[in-house]
Amino acid sequence: MKATPVSTSLGPRLHPSPGVSPPPPLLELREVHYAYPDGTLALRGVSLRLAQGEKVALVGLNGAGKSTLLLHLNGVLRSTSGAVLVEGAPVSTATLRHIRARVGLLFQDPDDQLFSPTVFDDVAFGPLHMGMAEAEVRARVSRALEQVGMSGVERRMPHHLSLGQRKRVALATVLVMDPVLLALDEPSAGLDPRARRGLIALLRALPQAMLVATHDLAMVAEVFPRVIVLHEGQVAYDGPGAPLLADTALLEQYGL
């Protein structure tokens, strides 16, 4: 059975005045190809768009290209061909500093993101790197930790926290920059049931647009109205999550 991609709405259509161009999508990928140095082709002509505030799940088998795609959103990887645009600006050397403040990338393993002696130092790293004043940095750190339910742990060592706590602190290191887009890689992986429920509640409450790579289809059903299936580096499905999750044949076809 071959999947029929389902078109997805990017929200209500606006009708601008004559001569006024509509705003660009928050995120746009145009025919993005990427090959690793060993020649492995990870992305093969991926095109997609996200609107402001839209929450989208990215699913597929291991090796489908999900993590590779996320790493393109703030320039960790650069496409072999095609273009990645954030708020209409292409990801390039000239725009990298600005785009990394706008796109918050969360790695699957929080230990890849937490490297400082204390939680405060980790969360404050981004604002300090941007040259913000001390008072602004402290206010941002306090707000970000409050958002993820981790207020009061500023002086603790990250490696003394549980996995769920470290994942929340890692997310705080992203939220502290006030990004418009969150790119999250397997945020629920390895969490116990209580920590997972807390994460789901947090993701539902956050106002930012999200592109979230995950194998957690139950979380997808609760949080993400739109689902993109990557299969062998290509978009195999892009549309509402409910029909996909109800279609056993499609789920089996794509190993979900």
| pLDDT tens, residue by residue, 178-230 | 999 999 999 888 888 888 888 899 899 999 999 999 999 999 999 999 999 99
pLDDT at residue 103, rounded to an integer:
93
Residue 1 has pLDDT above 60, yes or no: no
Residue 122 has pLDDT above 50, yes or no: yes
* 3-class state of residue 193 by DSSP: helix
pLDDT at residue 119, rounded to an integer:
94
Listed range (17-21, 153-157, 236-240) with the worst mean pLDDT: 17-21
Q: Which CATH number fits domain 27-113+179-253: 3.90.226.10, 3.40.50.300, 3.40.630.30, 3.10.28.10?
A: 3.40.50.300
Provide the pLDDT confidence category of residue 249 given band limits of 50, 70 and 90: confident
Q: Which pLDDT tens digit goes with each residue over 39-59?
A: 889 999 999 999 999 999 999
Give residue limits of the domains in the chain.
27-113+179-253
Tokens of 189: 């992986």
Cα 124 from Cα 138, distance rounded (Å): 7
- pTM recorded for the entire structure: 0.84
- 87 versus 256: the higher-pLDDT residue is 87
Provide the pLDDT confidence category of residue 22 given band limits of 50, 70 and 90: low
Q: State the residue for tokens 């991926």.
A: 46
Cα 175 from Cα 31, distance rounded (Å): 29
Provide the pLDDT confidence category of residue 148 given band limits of 50, 70 and 90: confident
pLDDT at residue 86, rounded to an integer:
93
pLDDT at residue 130, rounded to an integer:
84
Nearest to 178 by CA among 231, 137, 228: 137
pLDDT at residue 141, rounded to an integer:
94
Cα 210 from Cα 155, distance rounded (Å): 29
- 23 versus 242: the higher-pLDDT residue is 242
Residues facing residue 87 across a β-bridge: none
Q: Which burial class, exposed, middle or buried, applies to 17 when counting CB atoms under 10 A from its CB (0-12, 13-18, 19+)?
A: exposed
pLDDT at residue 256, rounded to an integer:
79
Average pLDDT value for residue range 28-33: 95
pLDDT at residue 15, rounded to an integer:
43
Average pLDDT value for residue range 110-136: 90
